[in-house]
Amino acid sequence: MGPGPTMVEPRVYAAMGQPVVGHLDPYFFQVTEDVRKLLGVVFGAGSHFNMALSGTGSAGMEAAVANFTIPGEKMAVFANGFFCDRISEMGRRYGAEVVRCEKPWGEPFTDQEAAGFIQREKPKVVAFVHAETSTGALQPGKAICDAAHSIGALVIGDCVTSLGSMPVEVDATGIDVAYSCSQKGLSCPPGLAPITVSARALEALRARKKPPSAWYLDLKLLDDYFDGAHRYHHTAPISMFYGLREGLRIIAEEGLEKRWERHRRNHLALVAGLEALGLRMHVAEGKRLWVLNTPRVPEGIDDLKVRRRLIESHGIEILGGFGPLAGKVFRIGLMGASSTRENVLLFLEAFEAALRAEGYSPAASGRAAAERSYDA
């Protein structure tokens, strides 16, 4: 129950054990075509070009930065957490002039702040993190995308922690390039990076004069391989694609909106439980992720000791904060296959016991509050 990797659906493991075929086998391209279509649904990307890259979520981030920034051009980053810093670092490595709009970790930007910064800086590319695993905060994308498009800029959205468990809806929001990972909300093992690219971003990519230095993540070459001519590029990790297709099929069977609602309800019940215990959430109500919850560590309590008790006595892994939030928050994941009523109740009982053992006196029963939340 940390920020990922998450529990993997047993059907996904079974799919990964199917015999490997060649990377140019018509059967493999049937699998990648299924993945492409199913990704279109979870991304809410009707008209987009979708694929899964042969690397983890961070490879998705690098593909977005490498393919859509041009050396010397301005890239604006909304920075309020760890992964915003990572995008900035990649932007600098690829030669972009990175300008940052900064807020404390866990505080989303308002529509006015977002629009004001973009209009002032007039960047070519704007990057934001939709769901920050380091803080538990959601950054809505609509105002960013509207402002960016009004000056002809492209928008990159990091959806590593939101895809498959919270609404991403790139078409409706206007995100041009969104990437994610195969774990977390999709509940497959880590190893692939879904990515989706809008028609206008694709046009910018095709108009690019010099290819990016990144060859392995060059989207033009990858498009030629996965789609179109099926020209050999690399030997794709076949087993991981089998697994991802199965994971996406499970999402389609559950229904995307039902899945979001499951995540929302379990999040609300967990928060009710945490607040009953007397903990305060780090992120303001309405701005919280449903998949990664960050209650503040109570005064005088050592979060590491609580977490050690949780794993040693109850077999439950959660993580702590890091960077400016080190020692200040717990990070509790409820993602994909792990987001269940059973896990919420089990966790709250174990967490209460671990907190008590460290000398903390809960205000009320967390489990009872969560149960009331489910019944409401």
- Residues in the site for a copy of itself, rule: CB under 8 A? 2, 4-5, 7-8, 13-14, 16-17, 19-23, 25, 54-59, 62, 66, 86, 89-90, 93-95, 181, 183, 189-191, 211-217, 233-240, 243, 317
Q: What's the closest the beta carbon of residue 49 comes to a copy of itself, in angstroms?
A: 21
Strands (E), 283-369: 292-293, 319-320, 330-333
Q: What's the closest the beta carbon of residue 3 comes to a copy of itself, in angstroms?
A: 9
Nearer to a copy of itself, 19 or 300 (CB): 19
Nearest to 28 by CA among 227, 187, 184: 227
Q: What's the closest the beta carbon of residue 341 comes to a copy of itself, in angstroms?
A: 22
Nearer to a copy of itself, 148 or 156 (CB): 156
Nearer to a copy of itself, 56 or 135 (CB): 56
Angle at 168 between CA 137 and CA 371, to 5 degrees: 60
Q: What's the closest the beta carbon of residue 357 comes to a copy of itself, in angstroms?
A: 22
Nearer to a copy of itself, 243 or 273 (CB): 243
Q: What's the closest the beta carbon of residue 322 comes to a copy of itself, in angstroms?
A: 8
Largest CA distance in the chain: 64
Nearer to a copy of itself, 203 or 215 (CB): 215
Nearer to a copy of itself, 57 or 273 (CB): 57
Nearest to 24 by CA among 226, 221, 240: 226
Q: What residues are paired with 101 via a beta bridge?
A: 78
Report yes or no: 28 and 22 within 8 Å, Cβ to Cβ: yes
Nearest to 52 by CA among 35, 69, 71: 35
- Return d(Cα 344, Cα 370) in angstroms, integer: 8
Q: Give residues with Cβ within 8 angstroms of 284, minimum separation 6.
A: 107
Strand pairing category for 330-333 and 292-293: antiparallel
Report yes or no: 332 and 4 within 8 Å, Cβ to Cβ: no
Q: What's the closest the beta carbon of residue 246 comes to a copy of itself, in angstroms?
A: 13
